Amino acid sequence: MAIKKGKKALSFGVSLVFMLLTIGLQPAFANEAIQEEHPFEPEFNAGKMIIEHIIDSYEWHIATVGDKHISVPLPVILYDDGTFHFFMSSKFHHGQSSYKGFEIAHEGSSKGKIVKKVEDGTFVRPYDFSITKNAFALFVSSTLMIIIFLSVSKAYKRTRKHAPKGIQSIVEPVIVFIRDEVARTSIGEKHYQRFLPYLLTVFFFIFFNNLLGLIPIFPLGANITGNLAITGVLAFFTFLMTSLKGNKNYWAHIFNTPGVPWWLKLPLPLMPIIEIVGMFTKPFVLMVRLFANITAGHIIILGFISLIFVFGKVNIFAGYGMSILSITLAIFINFLELLVAFIQAYVFTLLSAIYFGMAVEEHSHEEQHH
């Protein structure tokens, strides 16, 4: 038994060496080493490992050495039965124990979430406002973003009519691109300035979090933009702005679509129904597209890394051999992800701009007659 345990520790040691070797190259992987729910479970479950990396969690897991988990505890904030509960996630001992009657569910529909056992044996979920891994990473990236853009803004006040310098010259082409190619062309000369701050914020917010999600060092590297809560809120803001800034034409277009035969509107309001559904599918698609693209990227990279350990379990040399191929492919995907980081931010911003353009368009009904 002792020998077996020693062997296992050795194999994990090898895994750790690999992890350290690939730390600079394997973003999603490096800061979140393979995790074992049960120290006694000898199998390496690639699917489980990947899911654990891309979903939110109450603690920031950094590595597992032997049976020890190295992780940064994050604050848990719960609202239950009229009282707030504040404590650190380390009280759960990596999900192994319960605290104040709360525990992390291991199965069921609320798996991975904090639940409370009630008297009849069922579980209820309290209102959970915990600063989770994603929330924490969100704070970090947002702070970074604010610092960068305030310094850029200050730089603009200083340089005025002169050429940009430093970070200014990195963000300037992108700002100009968003202004001229996205806002101006999609919304039109007359209204684009109203939406520009939002479009710029959304673009850089997504772009920043996409890029930071690829950097595998502690306060960065969380799968922020690959989380439905994040993309959903962004899409909701776009929906809100489209609906609030929509003019007469926009609503007329929805409820009384010009240029379609009357029998599509009366007695059965087919077109209005389609248009109203369309109002909601547009932001829904925005939400899912960003989530799916970023999550898929992370899954692929993690999948390639998992291959090393899957092969390593069979034969340690197969693991070494596989690592060369896996790392090569993962690097390739990483470069691809850099591109995707920009493209997805651009697509989200462009589509938002197009929706805003529809909302403030002024001559839509006249165009139908031409």
Q: Work out how close the CB of 146 gets to another protein at its nearest, in angstroms, rounded to a whole number.
A: 5
Sites for another protein among residues 187-216 (CB under 8 A): 193, 196-198, 200-201, 205
The stretches of 35-108 forming alpha helices (DSSP H) are: 46-54
Q: Is 175 in the site for another protein (CB under 8 A)?
A: yes
Pull the structure tokens for residue 367.
Answer: 């165009």
Going 67 to 73 to 77 to 83, the CA torsion angle's sign is: positive
Q: How many other β-carbons are positioned within 10 Å of the β-carbon of residue 333? A: 20
Distance, CA of 230 to chain centre: 6
Q: How many other β-carbons are positioned within 10 Å of the β-carbon of residue 250? A: 19
Q: Is 172 in the site for another protein (CB under 8 A)?
A: yes
Distance, CA of 31 to chain centre: 16
Counting every residue, how long is the chain? 370
Pull the structure tokens for residue 107.
Answer: 């199965």
In angstroms, the CA 174 to CA 3 distance is 59
Q: Is 233 in the site for another protein (CB under 8 A)?
A: yes
Question: Which of 46, 62, 228, 329 touches another protein (CB under 8 A)?
Answer: 228
User: Torsion angle of alpha carbons 324, 326, 332, 333, nearest 10°?
Assistant: -160
Residue among 14 and 296 whose Cβ is closer to another protein = 296
Question: Which of 19, 34, 49, 56 touches another protein (CB under 8 A)?
Answer: 56
Binding mask 274-313 for another protein (x = CB under 8 A): ---------------------x------------------
Q: Is 146 in the site for another protein (CB under 8 A)?
A: yes
Residue among 55 and 279 whose Cβ is closer to another protein = 55
In angstroms, the CA 300 to CA 225 distance is 16
In angstroms, the CA 126 to CA 151 distance is 41
Residue among 23 and 292 whose Cβ is closer to another protein = 292
Q: Work out how close the CB of 298 gets to another protein at its nearest, in angstroms, rounded to a whole number.
A: 11
Residue among 167 and 316 whose Cβ is closer to another protein = 167
Q: What is the contact surface with another protein in residues (CB under 8 A)?
A: 51, 54-56, 77, 109, 111-113, 127-132, 134-135, 138-139, 142, 145-146, 149-150, 152-153, 156-157, 159-162, 172, 175-176, 179, 193, 196-198, 200-201, 205, 227-230, 232-234, 237, 295
